Chain A
Amino acid sequence: MKVNDAVSGVIFILFGLLIFYLTQDFPIMPGQKYGAGLFPRLIGFIMCLGGIALIVRGVKTRNGAPWVVVMDWVSSPRHVTSFFLVIGILIFYILISDLLGFIPTAFICLMILLVWLRGSAYWLSSAAIAIMTTIVIQQFFGEFLRVPLPWGIVPIFSW
């Protein structure tokens, strides 16, 4: 989504105000007039100032252009799918990797992405790449750097 500067200005002013709202009940330091909320509020204040500057600039330079322009890939279903696929795959990994284990999860994620991006005709080489990448990452991080990647359903083994 590409928005006019004025629109992002409004968004950031609202965001700055939200910071003020959220910092209301932050405690103050004993013996001082301020506390944990001072710095975030300062941030919120400057964010509002920046937002105002953006609104001025956005309105000035608009020249009848639309307030919101969708990105060029939005009209292409293929690219929209790619966008949501990347996000979906990460969510899938977050939810399932502990249960299933790193090796199967990584393989599934890679396989789905590779087949989607390269086309199903290349499924065999995609599978080979997915297997190799999974093994290399598992070896490098899991074995060499000793990161406790989850094993899940896979029996624990070491080379």
Chain B
Amino acid sequence: MDLFIVAFQLIFDPYVLMVIIFSGAFGLFMGAIPGLSATMATALLVPVTFFMPPVPALAAIVTATAMAIFSGDLPGALLRIPGTPASAAYTNEAFAMTQKGQAELVLGTGLLSAVVGGMFGAVVLSFSAPILAEFALKFSSFEYFWLASLGLTCAAFISTDSPAKGLISLMIGLLIATVGIDGMTGFPRFTFGSVELLGGINFIPAMIGMFAMAEVIRSVTAVKPPPQIEQRTIGNIFAGVGKVLYRYKVNLFRGSIIGVLVGALPGAGSDIAAWIAYATSKKFSKEPEKFGTGHVEGIVDAGSSNNAGLGGTWVPALVFGIPGDSITAIVIGVLYVKGMNPGPTVFLDQPELIYAVFVSFFLANLLLLPLGLVAIKSAKQLLRVPREILMPVILMFCVVGTFAINNTVFGVGIMLVLGIVAYFLEENDFPIAPAILGLVLGGLLEQSFMTSMIKADGNFYAFFERPVSAVLGIVTIMIWLSPQLVRIYRKIRRAHALNSKR
């Protein structure tokens, strides 16, 4: 409890609060513009947080992502384009409600279920993480090797329809992580004589390139003009929402639980949580035939689950240093930059920092209510911001952001090259998230693998000798061998796609 009080003092500092409010507004804006996702908001925030102490830096990311995941609902409901991938699961449903003249109800429901789900995620995170961290303190390099493998394979297999493509994307990330001086032998790898590459490829320019620069290219080459929002004003969004939430209180709770669990699964984040929650909602609904026609039930489930998932993804990230999705992968990168070693030792060395993250989760979700309301009211203006102005400004911001990390234009070059690579990969349906996870976790994976190899003296059985590592190892290998779960998930998604086409 003392720690919570310390954490409160850390967060309720005028500077930190200012950072939180600004990043909240920034997150709402980024989420509401289709194509600019919560991940991209985080990517663009990182160069700024680079100059902050850890507490405001983490609070900024927490707030911006919580806001962006909600505001992704806005273009979903009003334009039928999800603002962030996390809103994709129920975009058709939300738009159908808008067409029936229920835009207020769907946005109000989305906002309140997001707040409830986010709060639920925050509670679970604050209570489970310290307990799990105590357990994780006993881990050795074998367990970390398996955990990192587990997280990475989940990321590669879940995030795409084609596991092979996820795997290749992951390998690209891991390969980028090997560039530079090898920690074990001191040998410069893949540097091709470049002095700048000796230090390795910094993850911040890489990530800005892959998420932001690739999106700028996609936007300037988009042949179809983005759809325009029709003229309409948004009335009282809270009318009738209480009744909806009371009626679907079970859904609210179920969606939140699914969100946290899926989020905590390494490799799966809010977007997958929303798909699964929506499918579950339909399956157990008394009126499944109404789904897809503008029925609010699924929105309660999915709207709460994607914000709850956000809290869930931080559990493995904080406890093991293994990110649950690309946003927490960026967070892990930020923690490394701040000289902190993500993992259970942070709970011992700087527990107040972890608790500050918990407090900022609660605060961010409370702030979601007023800020979300403002965003809904100004949705019309938000959705009208012209791309032709936004993209050059974002590009310039990316340039300065990457420059600021090492104060050389070399970072800009990395951003450019990886941005183009990421653009072509995505055009060919390769997911980008596994590459970022690989890039962030590559160092840890290789180090724990090599350390374990030396400890084991080439004996592979040593990877299974300790009980926890045996369990983790078997689970990981089971996932490698049976993409059954993934098939089921794909079936759900395909069925949904078919339904929405009808």
Assuming A36-B187, A50-B164, A72-B223, is B397 touching A87 (CB within 8 A)? no
Contacts of A33 in B (CB 8 A): 458
Contacts of A98 in B (CB 8 A): 409
B213 CB, min distance to chain A CBs, angstroms: 8
A100 CB, min distance to chain B CBs, angstroms: 12
* Complex CA distance for A135 and B218, rounded to whole angstroms: 27
Assuming A39-B446, A73-B223, A137-B397, is B403 touching A149 (CB within 8 A)? yes
Contacts of B337 in A (CB 8 A): none
Query: Does A90 sit within 8 A of B, measured CB to CB?
Result: yes
Contact with B388, one of A22, A23, A26, A118 (Cβ below 8 angstroms): A118
* Complex CA distance for A46 and B386, rounded to whole angstroms: 43
**Interface 0/1 of A111-155, CB less than 8 Å to B:** 001100110000000000110011001000100011111000000
Contacts of A76 in B (CB 8 A): 223
* Complex CA distance for A76 and B222, rounded to whole angstroms: 10
Instruction: Give the size range of A's interface with the partner.
Output: 35 or more
Assuming A12-B168, A22-B190, A50-B171, is B221 touching A90 (CB within 8 A)? no
Contacts of B474 in A (CB 8 A): none
* Complex CA distance for A85 and B216, rounded to whole angstroms: 12
* Complex CA distance for A109 and B386, rounded to whole angstroms: 18
Q: Are A19 and B416 in contact (CB under 8 A)?
A: no
Q: Are B427 and A71 in contact (CB under 8 A)?
A: yes
Q: Are A147 and B185 in contact (CB under 8 A)?
A: no
Assuming A43-B178, A86-B216, A94-B412, is B392 touching A54 (CB within 8 A)? no
Contacts of B48 in A (CB 8 A): 145
Most B C-beta atoms less than 10 A away, residue of A23, A91, A113, A149: A113
Q: Are B223 and A54 in contact (CB under 8 A)?
A: no
**Interface 0/1 of A13-26, CB less than 8 Å to B:** 00000010011001
**Interface 0/1 of B374-400, CB less than 8 Å to A:** 000000000000111101110111011
Contact with B178, one of A39, A50, A137 (Cβ below 8 angstroms): A39
B403 CB, min distance to chain A CBs, angstroms: 7
Contacts of B336 in A (CB 8 A): none
Contact with A32, one of B222, B399, B428, B454 (Cβ below 8 angstroms): B454
Q: Are A71 and B51 in contact (CB under 8 A)?
A: no
Contacts of B222 in A (CB 8 A): 73, 79
**Interface 0/1 of B77-101, CB less than 8 Å to A:** 0000000000000000000000000
Q: Residue on A with the closest CB to B446?
A: A39
Contacts of B450 in A (CB 8 A): 38-39
A65 CB, min distance to chain B CBs, angstroms: 14
Query: Does B137 sit within 8 A of A, measured CB to CB?
Result: no
Q: Are B168 and A54 in contact (CB under 8 A)?
A: yes
Q: Are A27 and B187 in contact (CB under 8 A)?
A: yes
Contacts of A118 in B (CB 8 A): 386, 388-389
Interface of B is mostly: helix
Contacts of B185 in A (CB 8 A): 26-29, 35-36
Q: Are A40 and B178 in contact (CB under 8 A)?
A: yes
Query: How many positions in chain B have a CB within 8 Å of any CB in the partner chain?
Result: 56
Q: Are A133 and B184 in contact (CB under 8 A)?
A: no
Contacts of B187 in A (CB 8 A): 26-27, 35-36
Q: Residue on A with the closest CB to B172?
A: A47
**Interface 0/1 of B396-434, CB less than 8 Å to A:** 110111011001010011011000100010011010000
A117 CB, min distance to chain B CBs, angstroms: 4
Q: Residue on A with the closest CB to B449?
A: A39
Q: Are A73 and B171 in contact (CB under 8 A)?
A: no
Query: Does B252 sit within 8 A of A, measured CB to CB?
Result: no
Q: Residue on A with the closest CB to B173?
A: A43
* Complex CA distance for A145 and B51, rounded to whole angstroms: 7
B455 CB, min distance to chain A CBs, angstroms: 12
Name the interface residues of B55-108: CB closer than 8 Å to any CB of A: none
Contacts of A91 in B (CB 8 A): 416
Q: Are A87 and B416 in contact (CB under 8 A)?
A: yes
Query: Does A34 sit within 8 A of B, measured CB to CB?
Result: yes
* Complex CA distance for A66 and B79, rounded to whole angstroms: 34
B269 CB, min distance to chain A CBs, angstroms: 22
Additional A-B contact list (13), CB under 8 Å, known A39-B446, A79-B223, A129-B389: A22-B190, A28-B185, A36-B189, A47-B171, A47-B175, A86-B395, A90-B395, A90-B412, A93-B412, A118-B388, A141-B401, A141-B404, A147-B404
List residues of chain B with CB under 8 Å of any chain A CB: 48, 51, 162-165, 167-168, 171, 174-175, 178, 182, 184-185, 187, 189-190, 216-217, 220-223, 386-389, 391-393, 395-397, 399-401, 403-404, 407, 409, 412-413, 415-416, 420, 424, 427-428, 430, 446, 449-450, 453-454, 458
Q: List 30 A-B contacts (CB under 8 A).
A: A3-B428, A26-B189, A28-B185, A35-B185, A35-B187, A36-B182, A36-B187, A38-B450, A39-B446, A40-B189, A40-B190, A43-B174, A47-B175, A51-B168, A79-B223, A90-B395, A90-B415, A94-B409, A98-B409, A106-B400, A109-B392, A109-B395, A109-B396, A109-B399, A114-B392, A129-B389, A129-B393, A133-B392, A133-B393, A145-B48
8 smallest CB-CB distances across A and B, nearest first, come from: A53-B164, A117-B388, A113-B392, A82-B220, A50-B168, A36-B182, A147-B404, A73-B221
